[in-house]
């Protein structure tokens, strides 16, 4: 893709689409333009048949230290409504391909909300997480209260949200907010290694597994089971299903084409 953006960098390598937040002088503070660019790039990768997985990271000392307060401090409720402030965040939530976050440094406020939009999270061991919005007289508005509660449960989520305290990478791992803690200097290496493993998998299976798991998070068991079965049946119309099972019988590595 490699389309030029103002606030992010993009690259595609070996079936992996990379999106890097690129406002390092302000610790990648997130404004509306940045979110729009992230979503536009993610949607382009989602439509690109050569891309199997997306990696989201931040340039500089932080993944994202929060929302751009200068952009928000004087805005009114009516202006936020007319802007439809979180419409791009909703688009990000329906990306079909797996999104892996490689996060480090400060992951605060809107930065944590962005991280929680990922499907898999690898964090540097010195990463700090938190929702400091309560100290600004507001609260998370891009899904923070909802996603954190689904991951941690009511009691722990309320503790972090009501106090605005920070959480270490090891605490985040303990409470199921992230998947792995790795040495800071190995963060991208380990993330890309995992992304390459996914990129070798059949892309239709990846998409439908993600869809089924997200359904499980928000739906009664029976509804999730119905979608799972439909997706299971659907994959038997794919060329990759034929190749995968044929390769298993022939005791060789499958060559998936994403079809």
- For the cut 50, the answer to whether the pLDDT of residue 163 exceeds it is yes
How many Å apart are CA 232 and CA 120, to the nearest integer?
Answer: 22
- Over residues 80-106, the pLDDT tens digits come to 888 888 899 999 999 999 999 999 999
Radius of gyration over every alpha carbon of the chain, rounded to an integer in angstroms: 19
* % of the chain beyond a pLDDT of 70: 99
Q: Residue 190: which region, alpha, beta or left (left: phi > 0; alpha: psi -120 to 50)?
A: alpha
Per-residue pLDDT band at 3 (split at 50, 70, 90): low
- Which run of H or E residues covers position 169? helix 169-174
* Active-site residue identified among 17, 105, 133, 258: 133
- For the cut 60, the answer to whether the pLDDT of residue 2 exceeds it is no
Tokens of 77: 């409720």
pLDDT at 78: 92
pLDDT at 150: 95
How many Å apart are CA 257 and CA 174, to the nearest integer?
Answer: 37
* Active-site residue identified among 17, 110, 111, 143: 110
Query: If you ran DSSP here, which 8-state letter would residue 170 be given?
Result: H
In CATH, 203-249 is 3.30.360.10: no
- Over residues 9-50, the pLDDT tens digits come to 999 999 999 999 999 999 999 999 999 999 999 999 999 999
- Over residues 190-218, the pLDDT tens digits come to 999 999 999 999 999 999 999 999 999 98
- Over residues 107-118, the pLDDT tens digits come to 999 999 999 999
Decide if 125 is catalytic. no
Decide if 110 is catalytic. yes
Per-residue pLDDT band at 235 (split at 50, 70, 90): very high
- Over residues 118-148, the pLDDT tens digits come to 999 999 999 999 999 999 999 999 999 999 9
Total H helices, total E strands in the chain:
12, 9
pLDDT at 1: 43
How many Å apart are CA 207 and CA 231, to the nearest integer?
Answer: 10
Decide if 143 is catalytic. no
pLDDT at 116: 97
Decide if 79 is catalytic. no
Q: What is the mean pLDDT of residues 229-248?
A: 94
> Would you list the domain boundaries of the chain?
8-199, 203-249
Mean pLDDT, the chain, integer: 94
Tokens of 197: 């493993």
* Active-site residue identified among 41, 67, 142, 157: 67
For residue 39, CA distances in Å to 44, 161, 164 come to: 8, 26, 27
Per-residue pLDDT band at 73 (split at 50, 70, 90): confident
* Active-site residue identified among 37, 102, 109, 113: 113
Per-residue pLDDT band at 74 (split at 50, 70, 90): confident
Query: If you ran DSSP here, which 8-state letter would residue 4 be given?
Result: -
Give pTM, 2 decimals.
0.93
- For the cut 90, the answer to whether the pLDDT of residue 188 exceeds it is yes
In CATH, 8-199 is 3.90.226.10: yes
pLDDT at 67: 84
How many Å apart are CA 36 and CA 216, to the nearest integer?
Answer: 28
């Amino acid at each position: 893709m490699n389309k030029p953006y103002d606030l992010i960098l993009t690259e595609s390598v070996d079936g992996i689409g990379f999106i890097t937040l690129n406002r390092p002088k302000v610790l990648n503070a997130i404004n509306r333009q940045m979110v729009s660019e992230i979503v536009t790039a993610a949607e382009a990768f989602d439509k690109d048949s050569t891309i199997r997985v997306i990696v989201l990271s931040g340039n500089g000392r932080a993944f994202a230290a929060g929302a751009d307060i200068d952009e928000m401090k004087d805005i009114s409720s009516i202006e936020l409504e007319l802007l439809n402030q979180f419409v791009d965040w909703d688009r990000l939530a329906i990306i079909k391909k797996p999104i892996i976050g490689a996060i480090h440094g400060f992951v605060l406020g809107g930065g944590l909300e962005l991280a929680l939009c990922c499907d898999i999270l690898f964090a540097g061991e010195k990463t700090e997480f938190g929702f400091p919005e309560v100290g600004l007289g507001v609260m998370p508005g891009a899904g923070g209260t909802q996603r954190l509660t689904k991951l941690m449960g009511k009691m722990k989520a309320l503790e972090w949200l009501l106090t605005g305290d920070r959480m270490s990478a090891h605490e985040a791992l303990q409470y199921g907010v992230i998947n792995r803690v790795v040495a800071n200097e190995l963060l991208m290496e380990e993330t890309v290694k995992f992304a390459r493993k996914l990129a070798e998998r059949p892309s239709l299976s990846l998409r439908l597994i993600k869809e089924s798991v997200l359904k499980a998070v928000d739906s009664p068991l029976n509804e999730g089971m119905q979608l799972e079965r439909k997706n299971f049946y659907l994959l038997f119309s794919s060329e990759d299903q034929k190749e995968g099972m044929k390769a298993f019988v022939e005791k060789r590595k499958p060559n998936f084409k994403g079809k």
